[in-house]
Structure 1
Amino acid sequence: MYLIALAAHVTRDLGLSAALVGALAGTCAALEIPLLIGAGRLAGRLGEERLVGAAAVLAVAFFALLPFAASGPSLLLLQVPNALWTAVLVSLPMVLVQREIPGGAGTAAALFSATFPVAQLLAGALTGLVAARTGYSGTFWCGAALCALACVLLRARGRAGRNLPG
């Protein structure tokens, strides 16, 4: 939803330059590469589940702060938490899914990969519905709510996993 609504929010809602949208995307992408490597190393010390949970909380904060960012510098500064949560959530959940399907790494990879086109389809439809009713910044509030739901589900999964035998 963020990628779909960002350009329209920056140019239409905020009246800022379209070049800023490219700078935002480029800044986030440049930060993500080293953060992906760091996330893998940090996961070994903190645990994948804990790091994924922290990234989900950071995503809530990012989306909740985004509607208040009205200038180029504030939007650029927000690319730091954006890159942090993105780096963790595009890498570590695959490890968690593979762990859930012992001996089925290929199945886990296919299942995990298949979720992205479905998510993109749903994100496009939801972005259109939310933006039509609340404006483009409303999609960021929707993103914050969905990330908060993810936090709740991750927490519930963690508690359920502790109650399982073995």
Structure 2
Amino acid sequence: MDSVETRLRYSADNCSIKGTLEIVGERWSLLVLREAFFGLRRFGDFHQALGCARNLLSERLAKLVDHGVLERVAYQEPGQRGRYEYQLTEKGLELLPALIALMQWGDRWTTGPDGPPVQVRHRDCGGAVSAILACEHDHHALTPHATRATPGPGAQTVAPTPASVCDL
């Protein structure tokens, strides 16, 4: 938005970032998603990779399933009881650019002198994958100074505050 005054005329109650964080904003949820993108599907594998408490992992998986980010898919190995694995849905797959952007930030600001612990590469050519800000007219590598936020169709104006005694 072009000014503080413009921004403050609109409510943040229905903010898309806020809504996203309510679903995936907890540390363990993002780490579950990281592991799902790395190919893990089964509870035991998530537990082994993450090392978090089983009840916490169960809660995070359930929440991601409830919100349609993961889906539970039944499987059964020969001679074993039926179990479930967790697969990314289309909704979940669309979080990859956000996770790549977080990883890029971490690679720049939190890694040690040895460099990033993981590199994501394009399967076909082997090139490094990065999240790049672009507009619908194909302008790439936009910076914050090249962007502005404007009220969208779902923007809600802030209700005017009643006049206080001091304003009279």
TM-score, structure 2 normalization: 0.25
Structure with higher strand content: 2
Computing the radius of gyration over CA atoms, which structure comes out larger, 1 or 2? 2
> Relative contact order: is structure 1 or structure 2 higher (C-alpha 8 Å, sep ≥ 6)?
1
